[in-house]
Amino acid sequence: MLYMKCEYCITLGIIKVAPDPEKPEETGPVTEVCPMCQGTGYHRLVLEENYDSYAYTALSEIINNFIIAYVGNGKLIPSAKRTDIIFHAKRAMQEFSYDTLQSTKSQELNVPPSLSVVIPQDYVNYVKASWIDALGVKRPIYPANNLTINPGAMPLQVSVGVPTQDNFGENLEGTSITEARWASANDNIVNGNLTPQLYNDQFDSLRWEEFGMGYGQRYGMDPQYAQTNGWFTINHREGKMSFSSNLAGALIILEHISDGLAYDLNTKVPKMAEDAMYAYISHAIIASRINQPEYVVNRLKKVKSAKLRNAKIRLSNIKLDQIVQVMRGKSKWIKS
């Protein structure tokens, strides 16, 4: 049980609060009974995890409800192992998380001096990365794409280029020179935001023509890299997301897709998609068995598709007033 100290007692000095509410003998003398906590010095702490919980159902409850409603004599599925139902329920959770459920999660992180943060435990794919300015506004961070790469292996080599191996025949690994250079790179050189010093030192017109760069392009800048928000890469070798040097110390928001199974059967499923989960599990169990009538399998498949479509519509959360607000500016004339 979690507790919080009674602020009323502390403010008025009614009771000397004990360090542990389970040990009342250690509580100081009570001069009068507090009307808020009845003299205990503590209130029970309401768990914030319970907020907004009524809109969801735990995956374990869906499994139990499915066994009660769909499995047994005279029902759709005469018999089924609980392990089979759990497997298909998890598969349903994964498939629903990708395109039906609101499975996009976000984390607020600070970029350390190492310019890398650990990828979240339940990460499947990224949606968007942004840094937050002083006003709290999101500024998009773009993937590095062809700018740089996080190499998968960095074998140590001898002078003739042959990898060095240990006594077990495994290549000895070094550190990435590519990542080190990218971490120390001046982003202004990459995005074309040249300062007078950089222009005079490296990018004067004579050297530009001398090296044959930029023919047929806009002088000094490539539009796809013309942004100052920074870049990120996914380092699958270390399980981290790395950022460009101009984002050191920045506050970032990482939005990613989860399959919903990082926390096992405690995963929450929106009640609006609960019926679609039952239809998916029913079809999966019947379709995976031999000697099942095809008309039954096809009927369950149609039911599954229909209920999945209904769940998508319900969870799309389209509000007419928001659409109207956006469309108000579409009829305005832009004067030149």
pLDDT digits (tens, 9 = 90+) for 20-43: 555 555 444 444 455 555 555 554
The predicted structure's pLDDT at residue 214? 47
Give the model's pLDDT for residue 18.
Answer: 43
pLDDT of residue 86: 93
CA 319 to chain centre: 25
Residue 4 identity: M
Please provide the DSSP assignment of 69-98 as one string: HHBSTTSSBS---HHHHHHHHHHHHHHHHH
Whether the per-residue pLDDT at 170 is higher than 80: the answer is yes
pLDDT confidence of residue 96: 86
Is the full-model pTM beyond 0.85?
Answer: no
What are phi and psi for residue 243, nearest 5 degrees? -125, 160
Confidence of residue 165 (pLDDT cuts 50, 70, 90): confident
Flag the least confident range among 7-11, 105-109, 220-224, 320-324. 7-11
* Backbone φ, ψ for residue 34 (5° rounding): -75, 130
State the Cα–Cα distance between residues 19 and 72, nearest whole angstrom. 53
Higher pLDDT, 221 or 69: 69
223-280 pLDDT per residue, tens: 777 788 888 999 888 889 999 888 989 999 998 888 777 666 667 888 888 999 999 9
Q: What does the pLDDT read at residue 264?
A: 61
Residues β-bridged to residue 72: none
Closest Cα to residue 104, out of 269, 252, 257? Answer: 257
In this prediction, residue 7 has a pLDDT band, given cuts at 50, 70 and 90, of low
The per-residue pLDDT for range 247-262, each reduced to its tens digit, is: 989 999 998 888 777 6
Cα separation, 190 vs 121, whole angstroms: 32
User: What pLDDT was estimated at residue 17?
Assistant: 43
Which two structure tokens, joined as six digits, stand for 114? 């190492």
**CA 50, 56, 57 angle in degrees (round to 5)?**
105
Q: What mean pLDDT comes out for the span 65-81?
A: 92
Q: Give 228's contacts (C-beta < 8 A, 6+ positions apart).
A: 187, 191, 193, 246
Read off φ and ψ for residue 209, nearest 5 degrees: -75, -35
Q: Is 258 exposed, middle or buried (0-12, 13-18, 19+ CB in 10 A)?
A: buried
- Give the phi and the psi of residue 279 in degrees, each rounded to 5: -65, -40
